[in-house]
Chain A
Amino acid sequence: MSVLVFVEGLNGEIKKSSLEAASYGSQVAQAMGTTATAVAIGDVHEEALAKLGEQGITKVLYDADDRLKQFVADAYVKVIATAAQQESAKVLVFSNSNIGAAVGSKLAVRLNGSLATNVTELPKMDGGNFIVTRGVFSGKAFADVNLTSDVKIIAVKKNSTDIISNAGSTASVEKLSADLAESDFAAAPKETVMQETDGGVLLPEAEIVVSGGRGMKGPENWHLIEELARELGAATACSKPVSDIGWRPHHEHVGQTGITVSPNLYIAAGISGAIQHLAGVNSSKVIVVINKDPEAPFFKAADYGIVGDALEVLPKLIEAAKALDK
């Protein structure tokens, strides 16, 4: 009756968001008086899997099938369902990623379970209830949801759980082999194209984000955003108008109809802070706003602010960031 956590790999390592899911899962297991097992698929080193012991995982089931190095929803669902059955898992934990939430939704149907995505807190279990808190109304509110089925599936919002680190603990790694059929690969991707990050940080996984708006005055000034991001180990992002006019690619657009981010630090340069933009960033732990208009609504949602032209302020921040001990 263990808790089962699905962990995603990237270039052989386990994604940060999956380390968070593992930490969440092992805490749920502890509260339920059981153990947490992880299931991993595809491109992950076995050493990285054993290290999940540090997040409180006891055992890892690993399906190394080469065909699963890319994401194939139906095949992933079958592997995880096999693991869930083997472990008699009643609670399944995912990262609220495009992959985790997709697989979780399909498993909710296949295992007849209750699903909550975008979950921000550990469950409250009492009197037969299993209540989780999830983000709703695009970051403007939270809802407490009681998961009423026997099987509960949780997709944990990124950067909302601290990663547990019991140095030296290791998990046992066992092979898992699901009975995959040709039909499980019917919607397999023909091609997977990863973005060139130039060694930079991926936006959905970033702990620090530096974001620019129309106040940057043009794409030719984006080197300032990029340079500050590089100094701080941050990902870059932009507002909707900026991606709409083509200064930056759509996958960098943060906001209600773009990506929702919840980094530890969000730095907004030349973004006024329309309510739709705030919806995508307001669960960031610390918000910094740089805008020449002191009346910009973003200042109301900010922790730190500088009233000034982004093009003049950013070089000063870059200089100060270079002077920091890294």
Chain B
Amino acid sequence: MKILVCISNVPDTTSKINFTGDNKEFDKNGVQYVINPWDEYALTRAIELKEAKGGSVTVLNVGEADAEPNIRKALAIGADDAIRVNAHPKDAYFVAQQITAVAKEGGYDMILMGKESIDYNGFQVHNMVGEMMGIPSVTPAFKLDMVDDSTARLEREIEGGKEVVEVKLPFVASAQQPMCEPRIPNMRGIMTARTKPLKVVEPAGGEAKSEYVNYSKPEKKSGVKLIDVENAGELIKLLRNEAKVL
């Protein structure tokens, strides 16, 4: 089974978010980058399936050279090889076109990724790739198992419940917890990752369909109003009469 796992390179979850150049660009200064946490579920589950059923796991990143340390980290966790499409990920549509081009070329049985990136929060790319390739996309999935060699069984979340879906390979799925326990690299993985193949390819053309023109930050709260613990019930009255939310 050949599995393609798409990862994005995102600011660490504890990052302070700032913008530069008249609020037109994200300020990378002092920001640590990590593998998008949702993508880690997809990566680890892919590696588990490979260990159980055989096959290979290829990681794919659409991004610039500064993503390579995290691509190596994915190899250290257990992917076999990696592809980086050398392009700034302009928008979801552009990224989906790049993934589709790589996926068509490689003939993968399964294309996995996280349900969204924690920076752009699109929740778009997986469904776009499914549509571009004309194969099912099951998102967001929190359970993924093989029924037999050609069929997978997934459970996906819908508002207020879940759906159980069985699809034939190939398909696209996006991952979220509790699909698996994301792994961290061990020393042996880190050593072997250095020599695993990382291929850099140029983007397959493709256009963006949206432009990010400006960023802003939410207004800061004016400060907390503390209520004495002895009069805790007072809070309920404030919520009704002052905040008017009850």
Q: Say yes or no: A147 contacts B245, CB within 8 Å.
A: no
Instruction: Give the dominant DSSP class at A's interface.
Output: mixed
Distance between B209 CB and nearest chain A CB, rounded to angstroms:
4
- Interface stretch, picked from A162-170, A217-225, A297-305, is A297-305
Contact with B along A206-250 (1 / 0, CB 8 A): 001000000000000000000000001000000000000000001
Mark the stretch among A54-62, A85-93, A171-179, A317-325 that contacts chain B. A317-325
CB of A303 within 8 A of CB of B221, answer yes
Q: Is A205 an interface residue (CB 8 A)?
A: yes
Please determine whether A136 and B119 come into contact, CB atoms closer than 8 angstroms: yes
- How many A residues, CB 8 Å from partner? 97
B127 partner residues in chain A, CB cutoff 8 A: 73, 101-102, 105-106
A94-117 at interface with B (beta carbon < 8 Å) = 96-99, 101-102, 104-106, 108-110, 113-117
Most buried by A among B17, B19, B213, B235: B235
Instruction: Please state if B226 and A137 are interface contacts (CB–CB under 8 Å).
Output: no
B109 cross-chain contacts in A, Cβ below 8 A? none
The complex places the Cα of A171 from the Cα of B164 at a distance, in Å, of 35
Whether B161 contacts A317 by the Cβ 8 Å rule is no
Q: A282-B218, A316-B232 are in contact. Are A276 and B13 (CB under 8 A)?
A: yes
Q: Are B121 and A117 in contact (CB under 8 A)?
A: yes
- Nearest Cβ on chain B to A185's Cβ, whole angstroms: 11
- Any B CB within 8 A of the CB of A191: yes
A144-B214, A288-B239, A316-B233 known; 19 new pairs, CB 8 Å cut-off, are A73-B127, A99-B159, A106-B130, A108-B128, A108-B209, A117-B121, A134-B121, A141-B19, A146-B213, A191-B164, A193-B163, A275-B13, A279-B118, A302-B224, A307-B226, A316-B232, A317-B232, A320-B236, A324-B240
Tell me which residues across on chain B come within 8 A of A264, comparing CB atoms: 245
Q: Considering only CB atoms, which chain B residue lies closest to A249 in the complex? A: B178
Sorted from nearest, which 4 A-B pairs have the closest CB atoms?
A: A320-B233, A308-B229, A105-B127, A187-B136
Chain B 194-223, CB-CB to A under 8 Å as 1, else 0, gives 000000000000001111111111100100
A192 B217 Cβ-Cβ under 8 A: no
Expressed in whole angstroms, the minimum distance between the Cβ of A119 and any Cβ of chain B is 11
A232 cross-chain contacts in B, Cβ below 8 A? 246
How far is A204 from B243 in the complex, measured between Cα atoms in Å? 22
Confirm or deny: B63 has a beta carbon within 8 angstroms of a beta carbon on chain A: no
Interchain Cβ contacts within 8 Å, total number? 254
Query: What class of interface size applies to chain B in its complex with A?
Result: 35 or more
15 contacts between A and B (CB under 8 A): A73-B127, A105-B92, A114-B93, A115-B210, A136-B215, A137-B17, A137-B119, A143-B216, A191-B164, A258-B177, A260-B121, A300-B224, A301-B221, A307-B229, A316-B233
Query: Smallest CB–CB gap between B110 and chain A, Å?
Result: 14
Binding stretch for chain B, among A22-30, A35-43, A45-53, A194-202: A194-202
Report if B132 contacts A (CB, 8 A).
yes
CB pair A304–B238 under 8 Å, yes or no, is yes
- Contact in complex: B210, A303 (CB < 8 Å): no
Does B124 count as interface, using CB distance less than 8 angstroms?
yes
Indicate if the CB atoms of B233 and A299 lie closer than 8 Å.
no
CB atoms of B167 and A148 under 8 A apart: no
Partner of A197, one of B92, B160, B166, B210: B160
In the complex, residue of chain B having the shortest beta-carbon distance to the beta carbon of A312: B229
CA distance A287 to B220 in the complex (A): 13
